[in-house]
Structure 1
Amino acid sequence: MTPSATDRPGYVAAGDALRALAALAVVLFHAEQGVAYGLGDPYRGDPGAVSPLGPLLAQGSAGVWVFFALSGYLVGGPWVRALLDGTPRPQTAGYLSRRLRRIVPAFWVVLALVLVRFGTYDHDGLQVLRLFAFAQNTGTAQLDGVLPQGWTLGCELAFYLALPVLAAVLAATVLRGAPGPRRRAAVVGGGVALVTVASLAFNGHDPAGDWSLTILATAWAFTPGLLLAACEGRLRPWLAAHRTAGRALALLLLAGAAAVLAGLALSSPRVPPLRVEYLHATMGGGLLAGALLWQWAAGSVPGVVESRAAHALGRWSYGIYLVHIAAGRELRRHLPSGLGVSTQLWINVAGMVAGSVVAAAILWWLVEEPALRRRRPYLRPRW
């Protein structure tokens, strides 16, 4: 890894590794859930009844919150730094074009294939259109049967669309003229804090309501990444000058994230769902913060994080996330009857991981990379 890449603001050297870890963790979570729900009571709701490792697999849903924290830093970072530094904000048209090309084409392709293969789950035409509009969890009918993980992508898209609007409002009202660095930092920090508090209040007020899986109730999960982007300018030089302390702090954050995971696995399923959600988000923010602090302090990351496998799985992570539930459904259709619970679980885990990775690699080659590079799928990119 070149020093210039490591020093570039907004660059996460461990980004692909974190994406891969998050996507595969969600696959493991849904592999355990698929077996538990297929068997019914007493397995449903009690991961320990499926396998001794079931409570650990059940914590894989934390991967969603890792994705949210990463989006806060990677996608929201340029807007935050522009507001803090008083520099021009990203061009809205180019920004939206990149974000839409990154998330929409692959989602539409996978959703269409799932509808053809598994049906509409009794949804009517308007409800299917809501699915394609990333709005499956807005309103009174939550359409989570076809692509259950689609609610997170609706939150992601709403976050992408909200960033330029919020940045423009702050720049046009509070940050008019040429305010100093302290005022800019106070305004940006106050704005992030306000969004966090309002979103947490909304989420806690009605955690199982009709809008609980929308950006209104999940915006707080993006703010750890926004705060890291806001602190980067001051924190990075200090860490570079105090490398030992910086690495120790990074290891402490990573150890804390691992401790949260272990604690939840040992106490499952006694922890209330809303508290699990908050702890998972804390764990996701801790992983991202630990990875960034290590990078800023050491100037590099361990070689395993920069391996070819980590980069490949990171590139395919969105596809893995999109296809893994469909891969599990297809696998369970062909499982022979009479298998033991443990056998079902590990066949499901191995099959979903392998099938999702292969399908995601194909999806990247045929859909995602061409959409990002604006070329036809059968043309090789020009390097």
Structure 2
Amino acid sequence: MATTAEQLPAWRRPWIGGDGARGIGALMVFMAHIAFAEGTYAGLQWTGLPGRDAVSIFGGEVGLHAAFSPARLVNLFFAFSAYLLARPFIAWALDRNRQPGTRNFYIRRVLRIVPGYWALCVLVVLWLVVLKGGSFDLGHSLKTLLLVDGGWNKSASGSFSWMAPLAVTWTVRVEALGYLVLPLLGWLWFLIGRRWGMRGLAVSLAGLAVLTFFLRFHFLASFPLPLLDGPAVMQWLFLPGLAVALIEAHDPLQRRIAGWRRGPTLLMALIGFLLLIGSEPASQAVIQHHVSANGPLPTDDIPRAFGILVDATRAGTWLALPMQVAGAALLLLGLLGVEWQGGRPPLRLDGKVARWVGLRSYSFYLVHFPVLGLLLPHVAPDEKGWLGYVALGAVALPVSLLAAALMYRFVEVPGMELAKRLTARRPGPLGADPAAAAALDAHRPPPPPDAGEDDRAAAAAAATPAPVAPEGSVTHTSVAPGVAPPLVPVAADAPDEVRSLRQRMRFFEGGDPLRGWMLLAVIVWHTAGWAVSVRHPAPEPDFGQYGTTIGAALQATQISVWVFFALSAYLLSRPFVAAAFGQARGFPDPGRYVRHRIGRVVPAMWAVMVIALVMYGTLGSSTGDIVAMFGFSQVWQPAAVNGAVGHAWSMDVEAVFYVALPLVGWLCWSAMRRWKGIGGWLAVALLLVVAVVATVLCSTWLPAETPPMHSPIGALVAFLPGVAFAVLEIRLGTRIARWRHTPAIGVATTLLGLLVAYKLSSWTRLGSAEAIFYNAASAGLIVGGVVLWQLSGRRTWAILRWRPVVWLGERSYSIFMIHGIAIFELRSLGVDASSLWGHFLLYFAGGAAFAIVLGVILHHLVERPLTRLSRGERPIWGGAPSTVRSPFGDPSPTREAPVPPARERALPADA
């Protein structure tokens, strides 16, 4: 029989009104900050503010602090955290529960607060540094990101203007230190509880109160350790939650409160609320009285004036601290006591609205103060009275709620999901246990660890959804784990031989390994070019300095970008080709294609460009230059701002191909359906027209700084070989598979492509329009040979099965996008080497390692989750997609969706 919540001990029951209480608290803090926001921003030298005098509007300092008093409900956030997080540690200390996992505790806490905080920092940097041109100090900024920026509210003070909207995030630093200390406190409780029981825990709490009060009063002005200045003196905020957790764990006292009537319990909560918010004006009144008693502050004796203010603040703190601790404890105890008595939480804290706001309260708290700063100069700036505050609040509240909802959906939830995955130790979809992985994908419980093979096979089959293929749609098939469904949706009347071929080509084994090798080739190309340019300055890198043969081989690595173009063309065009030849159920859905392409390509690219803007600034570039960089058109508007991401020129090329593919595909599909006899020839003619137009317009509209080989229009030729091999597979695949010479031709084709790449530097000038054709032919032959080999039914070559290269290929897009910044930051590595080869090898090793580390982080935090989101899956940060689908909803030919090509442009010497 299942255990109900009422049958559980109090310390294990869920707090029904918890989320609603957080929501109400967050809204009241927002109301208080409406009046205080302008004063805070004005004190940080912000301009363009309305200029309202809050002290006069609210009748003096005491009145202003009375209006600010709802902000004291921020204390409840600390009390809630301490209460909820301390319960398992107290239960362990009293031998009622097993030891909480410290590792899991830290993982969940970090992923609970850090993603949202970092997301806020990124948004504020974009706003104030990138768009507004504010100052950016790397040292202080890193300290702010790591929550170790010293000083009470120093994250929002000084000359570093971008940190001003983070004024209220002092609470995050206090929380972070509390999280760090709590497991240590849990161990202390364990030692005390096992020997002295509940009395020992109560005495330890009293000792903790004495210690935190001492820190607060003794180091009122400054804490001796800079990293703890601020958080250390505020740890007393956790005392109310710890006290309530101990009361709940003491069964006699908890049962006594549970036996009270609802009225006295609510009265206790009301008293706590009044004490909490009344502490603000009361302490300010004491401070004002103390300052007035000493006469006017001496303007010519700064140390004495400062001493008077410190003494006055200490006097106000002596009153405020006990009121706030007692008030938060009584309020929390009253809210919980009502639930212990079996009643419904007061104020409809369990209602949908309160719970909705409460679930998003952390994001709401983070974003509301920047929103107020953003709107202050624009909302009723001419209204100097309290109506100005009303108008500001009326506009800022919905904006803050909307921003909080977005941050919660796309930042907080994925972080919490990742924390659950990391701490629950469940197998992922690509884990070693296919049955458990399939069950997890289907949201079913995995088979038990001791299950036999038959049971595990049955669990895998049960977790596999049945094939669904309505007429006119693509096939969304899932089969047994480890067996991917066909890539291209097969028509209902397709021969068995065609179906067998589609099953064979369902997963392009060479895709990820080719990406991995080409990614390394890109880094070789850039690092080798930089090293020789540093030692032998010239308009173009002189690879002959490495030797004739080795130099030509190093120059051949520039083919990598074109291999990626060919891969993209082959993988993305197959659904269109299958539709044109009538081997698919209708034309692929363009809407899904667009959504998947945007989700697959844009987030990681934009993330890297934001990083570049944050690190290097605009470098004097205009807003139009920045927009061009983000808008896939930097080749038409080159500027200094895109120097560190100059290799993203190929994304401009990719974008043109992404637009052209469905248009040309639809024209070919329409022609072959309407004119059965000559439709195929018309399609071929259309592709030839595209090639001719691309060649003719290769250099059209290009500025002088952009080489013709980087032309998005001219480079369309590079995609034709990939499309051609897709046509061969779809139209003649069964014949090619039966031909016994196919494996040998596949090997010869790839070797010929490598030979063309090696000889290319002696045949034409790199960067010219003519080089486009050589590069396209070479890359097409390299990819085509791998395709032919797999068509023959053989497993791909050993060099393409090497696991590290496959792993790199799966993450190649993110690594490529970030590698320009990585190698630029390490540009001095190896400069002092005794030889060019030593310089190059050191630079390549360090740059590759750094780029891989950064790229893996980008892949797990941005690329993979947002790719999942574009497919309608849950964006679990760091998790692998359960079933990777192609741009049209079909399973992808590789483990990840097709990765846009790596890029080959070397960084300029003055990047």
How do 1:297-316 and structure 2 match up within 5 A? 297-316=792-811
Q: Which amino acid aligns with 2:732?
A: L
Deviations 1:3-59 (A, max 9, x none): 966744574220111111222111110011112333353594311225663332222
Instruction: Specify the alignment match of 1:366 in structure 2.
Output: 861
Q: CA separation of 1:363/1:112 partners in 2, compared to 1, >3 Å: closer, same or farther?
A: same
Instruction: Specify the alignment match of 1:29 in structure 2.
Output: 525
Instruction: Specify the alignment match of 1:73 in structure 2.
Output: 570
Q: CA separation of 1:381/1:262 partners in 2, compared to 1, >3 Å: closer, same or farther?
A: closer
Identity of aligned residues (%): 26
Aligned residues: 378
- Find out whether 1:294 has 2:789 as its counterpart: yes
Q: Is the 8 A contact 1:10 1:229 kept in 2?
A: no
1:358 to partner: Cα distance: 1.8
Give the distance between the partners of 1:49 and 1:121, measured in 2 at CA: 33
Instruction: Specify the alignment match of 2:643 in structure 1.
Output: 145
Give the distance between the partners of 2:867 and 2:749, measured in 1 at CA: 34
1:306 to partner: Cα distance: 3.3
Q: Is the 8 A contact 2:822 2:851 kept in 1?
A: yes
Instruction: Specify the alignment match of 2:716 in structure 1.
Output: 219
Match 2:687 to one of 184, 192, 198? 192
Instruction: Specify the alignment match of 1:84 in structure 2.
Output: 581
1:347 to partner: Cα distance: 1.0
Give the distance between the partners of 1:34 and 1:197, measured in 2 at CA: 35
Give the distance between the partners of 1:42 and 1:36, measured in 2 at CA: 9
Instruction: Specify the alignment match of 2:747 in structure 1.
Output: 251
Match 2:726 to one of 229, 240, 265? 229
Q: Is the 8 A contact 1:28 1:58 kept in 2?
A: no
1:167 to partner: Cα distance: 2.9
Structure number with greater Rg is 2
Instruction: Specify the alignment match of 2:697 in structure 1.
Output: 202
What residue ranges of structure 2 are gaps of 5+ in the alignment?
1-481, 487-500, 883-911
Instruction: Specify the alignment match of 2:612 in structure 1.
Output: 114
Q: Which amino acid aligns with 2:651?
A: L
Give the distance between the partners of 1:31 and 1:269, measured in 2 at CA: 22
1:347 counterpart SS class: helix
Give the distance between the partners of 1:85 and 1:241, measured in 2 at CA: 22
Give the distance between the partners of 2:531 and 2:680, measured in 1 at CA: 49
Q: Which moved more, 1:6-15 or 1:127-136?
A: 6-15
Q: Is the 8 A contact 1:196 1:220 kept in 2?
A: yes
Q: Which amino acid aligns with 1:282?
A: A
Deviations 1:83-124 (A, max 9, x none): 222741111111111111111000001111112123333311
Q: Which amino acid aligns with 1:291?
A: V
1:188 to partner: Cα distance: 2.2
Give the distance between the partners of 1:57 and 1:316, measured in 2 at CA: 23
2:620 counterpart SS class: coil
Deviations 1:112-154 (A, max 9, x none): 1112123333311221111011110125869752311111001
Instruction: Specify the alignment match of 2:757 in structure 1.
Output: 261
Match 1:353 to one of 848, 852, 861? 848
Give the distance between the partners of 2:554 and 2:773, measured in 1 at CA: 18
Q: Judging by fraction of residues, say which structure has more helix.
A: 1
Instruction: Specify the alignment match of 1:99 in structure 2.
Output: 597
Q: CA separation of 1:118/1:293 partners in 2, compared to 1, >3 Å: closer, same or farther?
A: same
Q: Which amino acid aligns with 1:131?
A: M
1:221 to partner: Cα distance: 0.5
Give the distance between the partners of 2:766 and 2:657, measured in 1 at CA: 29
Q: CA separation of 1:295/1:3 partners in 2, compared to 1, >3 Å: closer, same or farther?
A: farther
Q: Which amino acid aligns with 2:569?
A: G
Give the distance between the partners of 1:373 and 1:334, measured in 2 at CA: 37
1:168 to partner: Cα distance: 3.3
Match 1:328 to one of 799, 806, 823? 823
Instruction: Specify the alignment match of 1:317 in structure 2.
Output: 812
Give the distance between the partners of 1:326 and 1:18, measured in 2 at CA: 23
State the TM-score, normalizing by the size of structure 1.
Answer: 0.87
Give the distance between the partners of 2:843 and 2:599, measured in 1 at CA: 32
What residue ranges of structure 1 are gaps of 5+ in the alignment?
none
2:792 counterpart SS class: helix
Deviations 1:199-258 (A, max 9, x none): 123337899856833331111100111111112133321122123x10111121112112
Q: Is the 8 A contact 1:62 1:280 kept in 2?
A: yes
Higher relative CO (CA 8 A, sep ≥ 6), structure 1 or 2? 1
Give the distance between the partners of 2:521 and 2:663, measured in 1 at CA: 33
